[in-house]
Amino acid sequence: MKSYIVHIEGMHCAHCVANVKKALSEVDGVERVEVDLKKGTAKIEAEEGVAASEVSDAIEDVGFSFVSMEEMA
């Protein structure tokens, strides 16, 4: 299992957080999601090799902008 930080733009409220959390939870290989509204990030725990493109698509499908995804040390 690896941890990743995903940077997201466009979240403004708890409803936004809930939508992003649900969308990311449905990505194959993602096991755990924590969304931080103030930082505009999501921390995900996922199987190694989870595709950034799938994460990006999930975020953009619910109306937000995917900025980047990086593996945590």
Residue 54 pLDDT greater than 90, yes or no: yes
Q: What is the pLDDT of residues 9-26, one digit of tens each?
A: 999 999 999 999 999 999
Domain 9-41+48-71 matching CATH 3.30.70.100: the answer reads yes
Q: Cα 15–19–10 angle (5° rounding)?
A: 75
Distance CA 43, CA 31 (A): 11
Stated pTM of the model = 0.93
How many whole angstroms from its chain centre is CA 57?
10
Residue ranges covered by each domain of the chain: 9-41+48-71
